[in-house]
Amino acid sequence: MLSRATRFPVASLLIAAICGSGVALAQTGEVVSQFRVAEGEAGFQGPAGQGFAGSMAALGDLDGDGVGDLAVGEDGEDAFWILFLRADGTVRGELRVADGQAGFQADPAVSNLGFGSALATLGDLDGDGTLELAVGARHGGLKGRGTVWILSLDSSGSVVHQVLITNGSGGLGTPLPVFSEFGAAVASIGDVDGDGIVDLAVGAPRPSAWGAVYVLLLNSDGTVRAWTKLSRSAGGVVAGTLQFLDRFGESLAGIGDRNGDAIPDLAVGVPGYRPMPPSGMQAGAVRVVYLAASGQSIGMQIFDEASTGTNFGDEGEFGVALASLGDLDGDGGSDLLVGQRSSPVGPPEAWCLFLRPDGTMRGVQRLMLRDFVQPAAGSALSVASLGDPDGDGLEDVVLGVVAEAAFYRAELDDSPFLPPVAHIEHDVLKYSPGAFLVAQFRDASENNVSRWEWDFSNRVVPFTEPDPQNTFLIPRNSTITLTLTVTGIGGQSVAKLRIPLSPPTSSLFVGSGTNPLCLGLKPAVLGLPLVADVDTSAFPTTSAALLMVYARPRGGVFIPSGEVLVDLASPRYLNLLQAGSSPGPIRFTTRAIPLDLAFIGRQAAAQGAVLDAQGLHLCNAVRLRVGF
């Protein structure tokens, strides 16, 4: 893959990349195909309400047509959807389940707020031919204690039987703390106690404290026979290991028996986890908890930056979502899909954790959601595995992005691990000749990569995150050199990037030579006017100034304070001319930027120009970034 900078000719910023040798092929855990499902897309009619795709669960073939179906949460509306799927993954039919709909009747004495927060398929608990589905309502119950419903669904998706589990109900005798958010996560974990009935783990992350997980040993009617609480003060080896604000139990996944004792074990997301010693950054972690037949924890492993050697990014909340996968890498142990809320380049991210049969980690693979998910940093993310419903040998997963009210269905590759091939992509964010350059770098390496080391020469400690940003203080006509070393299961590779800097020149536009610095742009905010100043002081015979804003410009990379590499025939969002009879700053204040301005993004830019007695003079370009 060529870097963004090497795909286009650049006159003023020459990029030379030296990459390690190797063959770039699809790799285990990479997304090889995907499509989006949203209201009006891929057969789904909706409407998709608040919180749509915040949770998901594969239902198996509910309606008997030979194709697996899917449950999708919509907790902002206290509901969830059952989507009946075609073999190609598109939606053939849909049913919304909420209070008073599809046979479900909430208890009027108990709040149902957040119904649909979490979903887990339990199979047919009582052997009556109906599917049991666990549904969490994390803000329900009395004073936000939370609730879980066990719903029995017929082949149409309608509810034919229901059990409420909450404080003092459904066999749960233990008192739940106020605002514990019991039901924020649910997971079918297999038969823990050996009675032949599938059991259930329920997360109660309680954001204001440490969090907890309840292992519920179920009866065949869906009620609770016994329970164990895993917390900072109870539940075996977990006790005493949690940090304040960990949010232990925000996500859960059953992972089968990982320590050879024939008792299924559990993966727990801890997105509030901070590195040791505790810092203010919620980097996140995943804990693999080994269970006894009673539900007590008898062993534990933690996957975080320190233990894995992989930097998942500060404040990324790694572990906010979990799903158990099949054995992608063929080592005899099922693997794990882990979501994080945000990444340094914007969108949420998901990772495959390749687990050995004993639950230790072999390596990771980043799914690179930035390639197809809209850049909404901090969006809630949900994940679920569908297995291999189309029989092509590739695992299908679904990735819910709440900010888009959509989910993506993706296939994950299972090719053997090859040595990584290092590549670098980057965007210049700010550039002042002879002064500084700020750039966002992105790892674009091929094949499996678990670790990164960026050597920017001007830093004592290298960056170890996959997509760092760096500021260089530079003299004019100097050269920046940086090195990326990537390490994966298959080996190591190195890429070098040299950026020789010289004054920007052009023979393409009026006034051949360096484009003068005249355009200043205020921060762009959705819903507010765009404010820009064009300084005409260098043009004594000024008659007017021009402001051009390109929504989707063609032609390459924009270098603020220098050359504009753009086809002037590109579509323009704005094209404003303002008279100015004397040299000096001319201010432009545009109409409010529409809240639905979807085309403002990584390639948008503003261009200044001045009209004088000699004609049109193009000034510098400024990358346009819009926020809230």
Residue 579 in tokens: 């008279």
Q: Is the Cβ–Cβ distance between 494 and 479 less than 8 Å?
A: no
Asked if pLDDT for residue 353 goes beyond 70, the answer is: yes
Q: How far apart are the first and last CA of the chain?
A: 33
Domain regions of the chain by residue span? 30-413, 424-500, 507-626
Residue 26 has pLDDT above 50, yes or no: yes
Looking at residue 309, its pLDDT comes to: 80
Residue 556 contacts residue 502 (beta carbons within 8 Å): no
Residue, of 27 and 451, whose pLDDT is higher: 451
Number of Cβ within 10 Å of residue 500's Cβ equals: 13
* pLDDT, tens only, 371-427: 888 766 567 889 999 988 888 888 999 999 998 999 999 999 888 888 999 999 887
Contact between 419 and 488 under an 8 Å Cβ cutoff? The reply is: yes
Q: Which of helix, strand or coil describes residue 76? A: helix
Residue 238 has pLDDT above 90, yes or no: yes
Q: Which residue has the higher pLDDT, 145 or 310?
A: 145
Rounded CA gap, 348 and 38, in Å?
A: 18
* pLDDT-above-90 percentage for the chain: 48
pLDDT band at 289 (very low <50, low <70, confident <90, very high): very high
Rounded to two decimals, the pTM is: 0.75
Per-residue pLDDT tens digits for 209-226:
899 999 999 999 999 999
Segment 42-64 shows an average pLDDT of 95
pLDDT at 506: 32
CB atoms near residue 568 (< 10 Å):
16
**Residue 452 · residue 464 · CB < 8 Å:** yes
What is the side-by-side order of every strand in the sheet holding 605-612? 572-579, 544-550, 605-612, 615-623
User: Which structure tokens are listed for 53?
Assistant: 């795709």
Whether omega before 47 lies within 30 degrees of 0, making that bond cis, reads yes
The CATH classification of domain 30-413, taken from the options 3.90.1710.10, 3.10.580.10, 2.130.10.130, 3.30.750.80: 2.130.10.130
pLDDT at 498 (0 to 100): 83
- pLDDT at position 466 is 86
- Burial profile 251-279: b = 16 or more Cβ within 10 angstroms, e = fewer: bbbbbeebbeeebbbbbbbbbbbbeeeee
Place of tokens 């649910």: 186
pLDDT band at 266 (very low <50, low <70, confident <90, very high): very high
Q: Look at residue 107 and tell me whether its pLDDT is greater than 90.
A: yes
- Distance (Å, whole) CA 289 – CA 253: 11
Question: Which residue has tokens 């199979």?
Answer: 123
Distance of CA 295 to the CA centre of its chain: 31
> Which residues, including other chains, have CB under 8 Å from residue 591's CB and lie 6 or more apart?
529
Establish whether domains 424-500 and 507-626 are of one fold.
Answer: yes
Describe the strand order of the beta sheet including 52-60 as a list of residue ranges. 52-60, 69-74, 79-85, 91-98
Report the pLDDT value the prediction gives residue 569, as an integer from 0 to 100. Answer: 55
* H helix or E strand, kind and range, residue 517: none
User: Could you give the count of Cα atoms lying within 13 Å of 254 in the half-sphere of its Cβ?
Assistant: 22
Nearest-angstrom CA–CA distance, 295 and 588: 66
Q: Can you give the pLDDT at residue 561?
A: 39
Give, for 308, the enclosing helix (H) or strand (E).
Answer: helix 305-308
Count of C-beta atoms within a 10 Å radius of residue 84: 22
pLDDT of residue 36: 94
CATH topology of domain 507-626: Immunoglobulin-like (2.60.40)
Cα–Cα dist 287/273, whole Å: 10
Report the phi/psi class of residue 357: left, alpha or beta, with left for phi > 0 and alpha for psi in -120 to 50: alpha
Cα torsion 254, 127, 81, 178: sign: negative
Phi, psi of 415 (to 5 degrees): -65, 155
Convert the pLDDT of each residue in 502-521 to its tens digit: 543 333 333 334 556 788 87
- If you average pLDDT over residues 454-478, what whole number do you get? 76
In angstroms, the CA 561 to CA 551 distance is 19
State the pLDDT at residue 575. 67
- pLDDT, tens digit, for every residue of 531-567? 888 888 888 888 888 887 766 555 544 444 344 445 5
Greatest mean pLDDT among 119-133, 346-360, 385-399, 461-475 lies in: 119-133
pLDDT of 623 > 80? The answer is no
Alpha helices in 405-448 (DSSP H): none
Q: Which fold has domain 424-500?
A: Immunoglobulin-like (2.60.40)
pLDDT on residue 431: 59
